[in-house]
Amino acid sequence: MAEKFEVRGVAYRYYPLKSLEREGYDVGRLPYSIRVLLENVLRNMDGRDITKEHLERLARWNPKAPEGEVAIKISRVVMQDYTGVPAIVDLATMREIAKKMGRDPTVVNPQVPVDLIIDHSVQVDFWGSREALRLNLDLEIKRNRERYRFLKWAQQAFKNLRVFPPGTGIIHQVNLEYLAKVVMTDGDLAFFETLVGMDSHTTMINGLGVVGWGVGGVEAEAAMLGEPITIKVPRVVGVHLYGELRPGVTATDVVLAITEFLRKVNVVDAFVEFFGEGVKKLSVPDRATIANMAPEYGSTTGLFPVDENTLSYLRATGRPEAHIALVRKYYELQGVFGGVEGAEYSQVVDFDLSAVERNVAGPTLPWQRTSLADVPKSFAVFLQERKKRTARKAVEIEIDGRRAEFGDGDVVIAAITSCTNTSNPYLLVAAGLVAKRAVELGLRPPPFVKTSFAPGSRAVADLLERSGLQKYLDQLGFSVVAFGCTTCIGNSGPLPEPVSRAIKQHDILATAVLSGNRNFEARVHPDVRAAYLASPPLVVAYALAGNVWKNLEKDPLGHASDGRPVYLKDLWPSPEEVNRVVEEWLDPKIYVEKYGKVGELVPEWQALEAPGGILYDWRPDDTYIQPSPLFEGEVKVSDITGARPLLILGDSITTDHISPAGGITQDNPAGQYLMSLGVKPADFNTFGARRGNWQVMVRGTFSSKGYRNKIGNLEGGLTVKFPEGKVLTVYEAAEAYKKEGTPVIVVAGKNYGAGSSRDWAAKGPKLLGVRAVIAESFERIHRSNLTMVGIIPIQLPPGVTVDSLGLDGTETFDIMGLSELAPGKEVVIRIHRKDGRVDEVKARLAVYTWAEVEYIKHGGILPYVLKKLFQKTF
């Protein structure tokens, strides 16, 4: 039963967790995250979708062996444009279907608040000048006019949907600085804020104490439509933080060290909670930097408590005092303000903040932590692996009249970018102070370094401008190029032509350094195979050094105007200097002003004309937006017989390998399709921009060059069509198998589906006709997304690997035991080899909940939700 409380004369109702104590539940031992889920179940229990059994599983949570699943209702959803556009396309398609069925189309409508922030589409085509921001924004709107028209239509057509124009900021920073409430209200009812986002780094909000995580687009669509989200009752790993950061060590250094540490602990699928005296030493921006990287250390959350630091941040970002008072009171009443004392955890690990040193991560994975001193060694190993040489190859090039020697290990991209670091004013001020000293000493980057600054927050960018630090960043080439993700998601734009030509003609292994969260090979730029994640001030330092061969702890970055060597220690600011600038120039009014004028920040968006009405006017000639095919066809789940492997893959195949990403090329099936419609190559744009057109996306699925197909040992994007033995693109082979009526599967190694390109990494294989994915292990979100589009994930037993199966692609597969699905059910895989032998492997469905069983039976969550919606409403 709800009880009442009052804050500043306003009465509220709430569901107190203490009421469960009276029923014999020991709530006091539960971690913070479990308490938030428990309150959600208590408040939403309806006896149908959310039941007493769900409450029991949480209230009697067993830290060592959590069991079962629970259903919760999310209070709001956030999404960015890459994943948001296809989600809105699906909703618009559902309205179209409703009309055809004689139903009321407005039944299809978000049931919870949904915010879509356009931040993924801008590319760094212009850089190194104060005009870069305007020029990139103009080009972005020109490239994406069709899809932006669609989003403007959607904003007026759907209730509960708010669209933030391009140029506003990065989704996770807008979420942290403006959208998050910590405590939400519905009328006079107050409750813990929860959310899911269509981007894996939604966990950044955990730094503010909000329980939220990233999901695939289809799952978020279900939440938007009011469906409960079903999750396994989680393990909760407590990370005890103690000590405090040494001078010169940044939040980025901490998160890279924590990422490496927790990858070894193995927190995959777990909720992680940070607690201890060290937490109090971290500001909310520092906490958010750590929480943001939860996908990189593999957990569902990276949660911090709500405490005095949280309230200080809410105040610093302009939240109303009345609401801050509500947050304090509600958390005190629920017994979780300042964290929870004596909570039980599935596992507790200790992390000493004072032991962290300056470091980076790379050259290809965010958990490859490397000290500054060891960066040259790490690159030398990579050079030997990729190019089979131990000596640096170099050539002379000329750029804008400046001649330079350019070769292996030289930095061609130095980008202060991404949500991870650019919301943190302390990190950006540190970068600005490094730039100031470098300029005063006469240092500048070599001509081959493409420098860019893409802050995700207009408020933090304003701090740099008003403090006078931005002018020094400008002089080193770090002018603001966009308020969006840019380099971190591969929208780094072109390299200077002489650099690009030298890389290709002379086989140069160039590098990138960025303040991002992802550095998978070829993600940052197709011509750049090595990339290091670093703090913003270190990005500036590497731009000045010009290469990763230097040990920045002891080698000079360059030479001052008077010829003397300049070292990193000569540029690095003290914590006191950074804090002084932040305290002097960070004004809560900035946040109120910037977010209060969201509609005025981008006049180009306001001038964009868009259709009206409740149904979208689909246009056959629109190459960006087409209705979704995911609702078509009847589904009958049965045993799979005679399946061919479309691809046989190794370990660590990421969603960036699967999902179409980056620029569209003429030799790609997607490029050929666009040319057949009269689109010129110059107007192809990126796959991310065209996610609303399934015809483009399905042709680009699995077309990345960054992996190898074990069938024929082919570069990514190619496979062998059997029985002919003909090499085709993956799309061509899939279409040929469809015409024959041959089912196809994918076979893969460990950690299949890591990465952040979520929805089309599942939708693409579905539309290629993939019935099942057999893998040694799956990444959490991608495994779930496969079930949500109706693809069956199957996990090989321990000791059985892709290599031990001895596959070459000529085999056919039968998968027996699918006619009666159940979570974790054992199935038999029969492998028919070309010499007549038949091998059998017993495996298990990587299907964890009965809800996932229903999604597979209905061909995906969208047809399932639509059917339920019609049944419920009419």
For the residues of 596-652, what is the DSSP string, one character each? HTGGGS-HHHHT-----SSS----TT-SS-----TT-S------EEEEEEEEE--S-
CA atoms within 13 A on the CB side of 86: 32
Q: What is the 3-state secondary structure (H, E, C) of 543-578?
A: HHHCECCCCCCCCCCEECCCCCEECHHHHCCCHHHH
Q: pLDDT at position 874, please?
A: 43
DSSP 747: E
Give residue-wise pLDDT tens across range 803-822. Answer: 999 999 999 999 999 999 99
* Residue written as token pair 């971190």: 488
708-709/714-715 β-pairing? antiparallel
Count of CB atoms situated within 10 Å of the CB of 564: 10
The CA distance from 594 to 422, in Å, is 16
Q: pLDDT at position 310, please?
A: 98
Q: pLDDT at position 554, please?
A: 97
At 236 the three-state DSSP class reads strand
**Distances 497 to 209, 242, 500, 501 between C-alpha atoms, Å:** 46, 49, 5, 6
Task: Return the domain boundaries, the chain.
Answer: 3-61, 370-586, 640-659+706-857, 660-700
Average of pLDDT values for 361-389? 95
What the block records as the tokens of 807 is: 């596959």
Average of pLDDT values for 524-534? 94
pLDDT band at 1 (very low <50, low <70, confident <90, very high): confident
The CA distance from 324 to 596, in Å, is 19
Q: Would the pLDDT of 755 be above 80?
A: no
Count of CB atoms situated within 10 Å of the CB of 344: 18
What H or E segment, with its residue span, contains residue 537? helix 536-545
What the block records as the tokens of 442 is: 């006469």
Cross-strand partners of 586: none
Q: pLDDT at position 399, please?
A: 95
Give residue-wise pLDDT tens across range 231-289. Answer: 889 999 999 999 999 999 999 999 999 999 999 999 988 999 999 999 999 999 999 99
Mean pLDDT of the chain: 94
CA atoms within 13 A on the CB side of 574: 3
Give residue-wise pLDDT tens across range 539-548. Answer: 999 999 999 9
pLDDT band at 634 (very low <50, low <70, confident <90, very high): low
Fold of 640-659+706-857: Aconitase; domain 4 (3.20.19)
Give residue-wise pLDDT tens across range 602-630. Answer: 888 988 999 999 999 999 989 999 999 99
Lowest mean pLDDT across 172-181, 393-402, 594-603, 790-799:
594-603
The CA distance from 823 to 845, in Å, is 7
The CA distance from 321 to 170, in Å, is 26
Contacts of 584 (CB under 8 A, 6+ apart): 467
The CA distance from 433 to 807, in Å, is 56
C-alpha of 387 from chain center: 31
Q: Would the pLDDT of 873 be above 70?
A: no
Which one of 37-41, 50-54, 654-658 scores highest in mean pLDDT?
37-41
Q: Give the burial class of 530: count Cβ atoms within 10 A of its Cβ; 0-12 exposed, 13-18 middle, 19 or more buried.
A: buried
pLDDT band at 523 (very low <50, low <70, confident <90, very high): confident
What the block records as the tokens of 649 is: 């893959």
Percentage of residues of the chain with pLDDT beyond 90? 81
Q: Would the pLDDT of 53 be above 50?
A: yes
Q: pLDDT at position 756, please?
A: 67
Q: pLDDT at position 680, please?
A: 95
The CA distance from 280 to 287, in Å, is 10
pLDDT band at 633 (very low <50, low <70, confident <90, very high): low
Helices (H), 225-333: 251-265, 284-292, 294-297, 308-316, 321-333
Count of residues making up the chain: 874
Q: What is the CATH number of domain 370-586?
A: 3.30.499.10
C-alpha of 695 from chain center: 24
The answer to whether the 370-586 and 640-659+706-857 domains have the same CATH topology is no
Q: pLDDT at position 687, please?
A: 87
Give residue-wise pLDDT tens across range 718-742. Answer: 999 999 999 999 999 999 999 999 9
pLDDT band at 635 (very low <50, low <70, confident <90, very high): confident
**Distances 160 to 86, 641, 692, 813 between C-alpha atoms, Å:** 17, 45, 21, 46
Q: What is the 3-state secondary structure (H, E, C) of 318-385?
A: CCCHHHHHHHHHHHHHCCCCCCCCCCCCCEEEEEEHHHCCCEEECCCCCCCEEEHHHHHHHHHHHHHH
Average of pLDDT values for 386-413? 96
Q: Give the burial class of 159: count Cβ atoms within 10 A of its Cβ; 0-12 exposed, 13-18 middle, 19 or more buried.
A: exposed
> Residue 531's closest CA among 550, 507, 511, 516?
511
Cis peptide before 16 (omega within 30 of 0): no
Q: pLDDT at position 844, please?
A: 97
| pTM of the shown model | 0.87
More confident residue, 604 or 750: 750
What the block records as the tokens of 33 is: 């995250």
Q: pLDDT at position 227, please?
A: 84
Give residue-wise pLDDT tens across range 466-514. Answer: 999 999 999 999 999 999 999 988 889 999 999 999 999 999 999 999 9
Q: pLDDT at position 818, please?
A: 96
Q: Does residue 662 come out as left (phi exceeding 0), alpha (psi in the -120 to 50 range) or beta?
A: left
Give residue-wise pLDDT tens across range 813-863. Answer: 999 999 999 999 999 999 999 999 999 999 999 998 788 898 999 999 888
More confident residue, 1 or 748: 748
What type of residue is 175?
A: N
